[in-house]
A = this chain, B = another copy of it.
């Protein structure tokens, strides 16, 4: 049973769940994955914590993890890129496998990154090096907006959290285009609020954008379907 440590933000968690459902081959309810989702909106701001400007979110994340464990989950996904700064700490506290969103993104990349992989993320994700460090092991170099652009990305993310999508969409489209103009052939929407704002994007950008939320959803479906198959096999044995 898939566990979702969510609520960061709440609408991004809803977006993620929809992507899990749409990526599951199913003709009726009973073909779908079982999920328990903890939408722990109380978890303190992750970027503020990484920048040394706010309280540690780890205790509230651990509380949500414990609720998921109590509910019986066997695998956990966290639809918040910035929260992955605490991935190793959370994994060390539980026997349940915690998927990593950057590994899921790496599985989805199709282009070689001659121009570097564009990354639109929170300032916390950028500062903590969540994408840079994990992708360096795969020989992939990340490219982020300059300081002014990064501040704009962060402003757009806060607008999505406050439900003001139209302005956020304009900002994010411009920042993605700026990364493309520096030579990036793929740009990761590496904050789960960003695909909420760019969901209706139909232009040339559409083929460039890589949706980290979609990548994590597909990884969950693969993992849970494989373990369902393993269970069926071991029952048959």
Q: Which residues of A contact B (CB under 8 A)?
A: 7-11, 13-14, 17-18, 21-22, 24, 26-45, 67-68, 70-72, 158, 161-163
Contact = CB atoms under 8 A, between A and B. Distances in A.
Contacts of A72: 67, 70
Which residue, A7, A71, A72, has most C-beta atoms of chain B within 10 A? A71
Contacts of A26: 10, 162-163
A28 B9 CA distance: 8
B44 A30 contact: yes
A71 B36 contact: yes
Contact of A45 (B13, B29, B33): B29
Contact of A71 (B33, B41, B68): B68
A29 B7 contact: yes
Contacts of A7: 29, 32, 34-35
A43 to B, nearest CB: 7
B163 A22 contact: yes
Which residue, A39, A42, A161, has most C-beta atoms of chain B within 10 A? A39
Contacts of A11: 18, 21-22
B41 A39 contact: no
A32 B10 contact: yes
A8 B29 contact: yes
A36 B34 contact: no
A32 B18 contact: no
A34 B42 CA distance: 7
A223 to B, nearest CB: 16
A59 to B, nearest CB: 14
A9 B32 contact: yes
B14 A21 contact: yes
A44 B163 CA distance: 36
25 contacts: A7-B32, A7-B35, A9-B29, A10-B17, A10-B21, A10-B26, A10-B33, A11-B18, A14-B21, A17-B17, A22-B163, A27-B162, A28-B45, A28-B158, A29-B43, A29-B45, A30-B41, A34-B42, A35-B39, A35-B41, A36-B36, A37-B39, A67-B70, A67-B72, A71-B71
Contacts of A158: 28
Nearest to A67: B71
A7 B28 CA distance: 11
